[in-house]
């Protein structure tokens, strides 16, 4: 009974087989068919390898939504070197809520030489090259996101202890926590003091000849500090052409949630517009000499997620490649043979020209004469 059931099952499966079966005696091999088959298999192998490389790669997906977090604090990470002595400069933040955050809350003033060491110059030059490439090719930002925490920190290496240069500059580095509203981080002459109508700087004791706001921004970021992320102002260096010169940076900060296969962090991207001018009250150019970074918080939040192609989608695409190549090459091969047969048939018909054969009654025959053994002698 079991054998009968197996035979019935096999017969049923054979009846359900919808794929055509061509006997081998009906199949005709040819050089053109073999050539087309070789091309098809080579194309399939090449596209399969390329598809596998696409399957191994990942891409970044960007989603946008309204930022509903208004109560948390915004962290500003700062590492700026100004070509003035530390006792002459002061840094602080004043936001739209008239809240002043003094630099004493988290910034360190460190006397350093303004001139960089050869190793630091090389790193700064590399950062400037990367910044120029990022401005031209925005897709490189995805590579930086995926390599976060895997690459080394973008901070400048420490100076050598045997440096013979005297400290003629002030390195202001650290972090501050501010409200998530628009504000102004600035570095100007004199230490900041509270004031009922805002704040003021004690600049009366500093002579104008000692003003020099040439500066270098080694790092400036908002939010969580992520090693490997290169920000738009990293590596920027400005040299003042006048003592009374103002440098302005207008920054738009976008809250960003980064989710990759390596990290999950909340950071902030930003774009920046630069402007610099010489303060000359007689010419109508009013203001205060210094470095001013006016930032504004965007109401939109970006979620950046690293995605990978599912395995089932890879199989479907692979089957489509194999089936599509076989179908396309079969159609092209059949069409090529059809065209070749038409052309060759015309050549064959043209090679057989009709000849006139005289008949005894005076008529002519246009039929081809039969070739016999006697006619060859």
pLDDT 10s digits, 112-140: 888 888 888 888 888 888 777 777 766 55
- Find all residues with CB under 8 Å of 141, minimum gap 6, and list them: 134
Domain that holds residue 121: 67-297
Q: Is residue 242 part of a domain?
A: yes
Based on the fold, state whether residues 94 and 53 are members of the same structural domain. no
**String of b and e for 316-352 (b: at least 16 CB within 10 Å)?**
eebeebeeebeeebeeebeeeeeeeeeeeeeeeeeee
Phi, psi of 247 (to 5 degrees): -110, 125
25 in a structural domain: no
**Tell me, what's the pLDDT at 159?**
60
Using 50, 70 and 90 to split pLDDT, how confident is the model at 251?
very high
Check residue 216 and give its pLDDT: 92
- Give yes or no: residues 48 and 103 share one domain: no
Phi and psi at residue 360, in whole multiples of 5°? -60, -30
Residues paired with 89 in a beta bridge: 189
Residues in the chain: 377
pLDDT band for 250, please (50, 70, 90 cuts). very high
Interacting residues of 362 by C-beta distance below 8 A, sequence separation 6+:
none
Average pLDDT value for the chain: 77
Distance CA 239, CA 207 (A): 19
Say which residue the tokens 């090693």 belong to. 227
Share in percent of the chain as helix, strand, coil (round to 5): 35, 35, 35
Question: Is 313 found in the same domain as 178?
Answer: no
Q: Are residues 242 and 147 in the same domain?
A: yes
**Number of domains the chain contains:** 2
Domain boundary among 276, 297, 318: 297
Given this model, what pLDDT does residue 371 score?
47
Across residues 84-100, what is the average pLDDT?
82
* Residue 271 lies inside a defined structural domain of this protein: yes
* Residue 197, CA distances (Å) to 90, 288, 329 in order: 19, 17, 80
Select from 259, 277, 297 the last residue of a domain.
297
Examine the domain organization and report whether 132 and 211 are in the same domain. yes
228 and 93 in a common domain = yes
Q: Which residue has the higher pLDDT, 28 or 88?
A: 88
198-220 pLDDT, tens digit each: 666 766 677 777 888 999 998 89
Q: What pLDDT score was predicted for residue 243?
A: 82
User: What DSSP state is assigned to residue 146?
Assistant: H
d(CA 353, CA 366): 10
Shared domain check, 159 and 77: yes
Query: Are 40 and 133 in a shared domain?
Result: no
- Angle subtended by helix axes 311-351 and 31-56, to nearest 10: 160
In a domain, 161, yes or no: yes
Is the residue at 147 inside a domain?
A: yes
Q: Is residue 7 included in any domain, yes or no?
A: no
Terminal CA-CA length for the chain = 78
pLDDT for res 293: 93
Residue 353 domain-assigned (yes or no): no
Lowest-pLDDT range of 51-60, 77-86, 191-200, 297-306: 191-200
* 50 and 117 housed in the same domain: no
Q: Looking at the predicted structure, is the pLDDT value of residue 357 above 70?
A: no
What is the rounded average pLDDT of the residues 179-194? 83
Neighbours of 201 (CB within 10 A): 20
Q: Please tell me the predicted confidence (pLDDT) of residue 121.
A: 83
141 and 224 share one domain: yes
Q: Are residues 48 and 123 in the same domain?
A: no
Distances (CA, A) of 188 to 75, 105, 175, 363: 21, 17, 18, 121
Percentage of residues of the chain with pLDDT beyond 90 = 10
In a domain? residue 10:
no
pLDDT band at 370 (very low <50, low <70, confident <90, very high): very low
Q: Are residues 109 and 177 in the same domain?
A: yes
CA 306 vs CA 1, 54, 59, 138: distances in Å: 58, 14, 6, 16
> Which DSSP category does 280 fall into?
B
């Amino acid at each position: 009974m079991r054998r009968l059931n197996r035979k019935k099952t096999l017969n049923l499966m054979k009846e359900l087989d919808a794929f055509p079966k061509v006997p081998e005696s009906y199949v005709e091999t040819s050089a053109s068919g073999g050539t087309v088959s070789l091309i098809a298999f080579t194309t399939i192998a090449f596209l399969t390898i390329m598809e596998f490389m696409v399957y191994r790669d990942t891409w970044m997906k960007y989603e946008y939504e309204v930022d509903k977090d208004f109560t948390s604090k915004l962290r500003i990470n700062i590492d700026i070197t100004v070509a003035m002595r530390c006792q002459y400069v002061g840094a602080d933040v004043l936001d739209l809520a008239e809240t002043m955050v003094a630099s004493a809350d988290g910034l360190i003033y460190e006397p350093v030489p303004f001139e960089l060491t050869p190793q630091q110059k090389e790193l700064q030059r590399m950062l400037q090259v990367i910044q120029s490439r990022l401005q031209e090719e925005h897709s490189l930002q995805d590579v930086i996101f995926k390599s976060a925490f895997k690459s080394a920190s973008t901070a400048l290496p420490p100076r050598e202890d045997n440096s013979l240069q005297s400290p003629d500059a002030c390195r202001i580095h650290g972090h501050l926590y501010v409200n998530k509203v628009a504000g102004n981080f600035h570095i100007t002459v004199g230490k900041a003091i509270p004031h009922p109508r805002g704040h003021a700087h004690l600049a009366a004791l500093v002579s104008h000849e000692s003003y020099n706001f040439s500066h270098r921004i080694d790092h400036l970021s908002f939010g969580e500090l992520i090693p490997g992320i290169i920000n738009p102002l990293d590596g920027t260096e400005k040299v003042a052409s006048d003592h009374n010169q103002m440098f302005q940076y207008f920054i738009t900060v976008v809250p960003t949630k980064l989710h990759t296969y390596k990290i999950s962090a909340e950071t902030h991207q930003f774009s920046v517009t630069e402007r610099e001018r010489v303060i000359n009250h007689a010419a109508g150019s009013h203001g205060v000499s210094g470095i001013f970074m006016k930032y504004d918080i965007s109401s939109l939040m970006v979620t950046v997620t690293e995605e990978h192609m599912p395995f089932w989608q890879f199989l479907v695409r692979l089957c489509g490649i194999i089936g599509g190549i076989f179908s396309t090459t079969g159609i092209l091969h059949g069409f090529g043979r059809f065209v070749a047969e038409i052309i060759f048939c015309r050549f064959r018909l043209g090679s057989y020209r009709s000849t006139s054969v005289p008949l005894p009654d005076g008529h002519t025959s246009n039929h081809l004469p039969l070739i016999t053994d006697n006619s060859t002698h």
